[in-house]
Amino acid sequence: MGRILMLVAGVLLAAFVLFNFILPMVLGLLKIALIIGVIGVIVFLVVTVVGKSSSSS
């Protein structure tokens, strides 16, 4: 009986840690990676447009 009780307590604690600490951290990292990716694409496009406009003149 004690083993089952400890198993249930462990599962509940693991779910608590997962949903309160791990998932928000992963989502935050994904958000930061998405922002860095968008900034990188914008810089790439600006450099490409400036490079093509300066080489054509």
pLDDT score recorded for residue 56: 67
pLDDT score recorded for residue 54: 83
pLDDT score recorded for residue 55: 74
The rounded distance, in Å, linking the Cα atoms of 1 and 7 is 10
Local mean pLDDT, 10-residue blocks, the chain (57 residues): 94 94 94 97 95 78
pLDDT score recorded for residue 18: 92
Three-state DSSP class for residue 57: coil
In the numeric block, which tokens belong to residue 31? Answer: 């958000």
The rounded distance, in Å, linking the Cα atoms of 11 and 33 is 31
